Amino acid sequence: MNDLISLNREELRELFAGFSEPPFRADQLFQWIHRKNTWDFSAMTNLPLALRERLGAAYLVSTVRIERTLAAPDGTRKHAFRLADGEAVEAVFLPERKYFSLCVSSQAGCPLACVFCATGARGFRRHLSAAEILGQIYLLLKNAPPVDRLGNILFMGMGEPLLNPSELRRAISLLTDPQGLALSPRKIVVSTSGIIPELKALAAESRIRFAISLNAPNPELRKKLMPGVETKYPLPGLLQVLRDFPHNYPGRLMIEYVLIRGENDSGKCAAELEKSLRGIRARVNLIPHNPFPGSGLSSPENSRVLRFQEILKSQGRIVFIREPRGAEIQAACGQLAGTKKAESGEQGAKGEEPGAEG
């Protein structure tokens, strides 16, 4: 069966033209899927019954399903999603004081092999389609508390989003469509390790926000920690792109810096980082490393993290320390890895399974 969640309004109109249905019917279907988050054709009551039956016989909204949900004491929830071919990805619901954010994946695995990331340790499986990206988001929304409101969608889950640019663009376009979820581009944050051509292109055409995963103040150390990206897109070139960022960019860039004990957490690294960032309008998010099985790495002592922050702040830099969210369930930054691909007939491990898929 064909899923419809990744089709834009024009593509749905073309599909419905083949059914001899008027264009406004396609717009109605689009609104049911993207504004009302309804996946059951029989519930789309302003569509003719014959059309609903035709859609139900040959189409579905999405093939993504929630396989398992884990909850942390702070309210963070990690959802494991099973895809149609058996691959698995993870995404995270992050409650805030007045809203919630969703951290979603763009690839099954990741090819960049950053040493501090569980996704990279898993290796690369494949890109996700826009339908699979949206499937995560809409199922997370179905399971969000009704009293909360959506704050941000964070492409900070599994994978490097800018290595999957066409599907990322399609997902963003559908999320921001005024007849759908109508999300402001400023509420979409794409985290990237620095895929320079795609970063420049997307920044020029969109008003979304970016988080730059830097993690080292010089090319030598960055190549050790992030070999997959530093080899192809060296740090000096990335820093120049950030200095030349479009003047209409909404606010400051976010620089993400994972602090790893004994690797990149020294006062010398802090001073060198500030020097590297001169001329770049950005704030810094310090992220004490979140260990995962087999990483062999650890987080610095709190006093060392605070010292790193103070060195940057002394030069006028805005610096935050990111509190770990969901570390108890391996849902914190750098801990998402998914599970192995399901074999034919395999029943995946089940946890709490919200019945909200349609």
As annotated, the active-site residues are 90, 333
User: Residue 333's Cα: distance from chain center in Å?
Assistant: 11
Q: What 3-state DSSP class applies to 249?
A: coil
- Residue 171 CA to residue 178 CA, distance in Å, equals 14
Cβ-count burial 173-184 (b if 16+ within 10 Å, e if not): ebbbbeebbebe
Q: How far is CA 6 from CA 10, 18, 57, 167, in A?
A: 12, 18, 19, 9
Name the helix (H) or strand (E) containing 6: none
Burial of 60 (0-12, 13-18, 19+ CB in 10 A): middle
- Residue 198 CA to residue 80 CA, distance in Å, equals 28
Q: Which of 357, 356, 358, 348 is nearest to 80 (CA)?
A: 348
* Secondary structure letter of residue 157 according to DSSP: S
Q: What 3-state DSSP class applies to 256?
A: strand
Q: Which of 84, 127, 67 is nearest to 344 (CA)?
A: 84
Strand (E) positions, the chain?
A: 2-3, 59-60, 65-71, 77-82, 88-95, 100-103, 107-109, 124-127, 150-155, 188-192, 209-213, 253-259, 282-288, 319-321
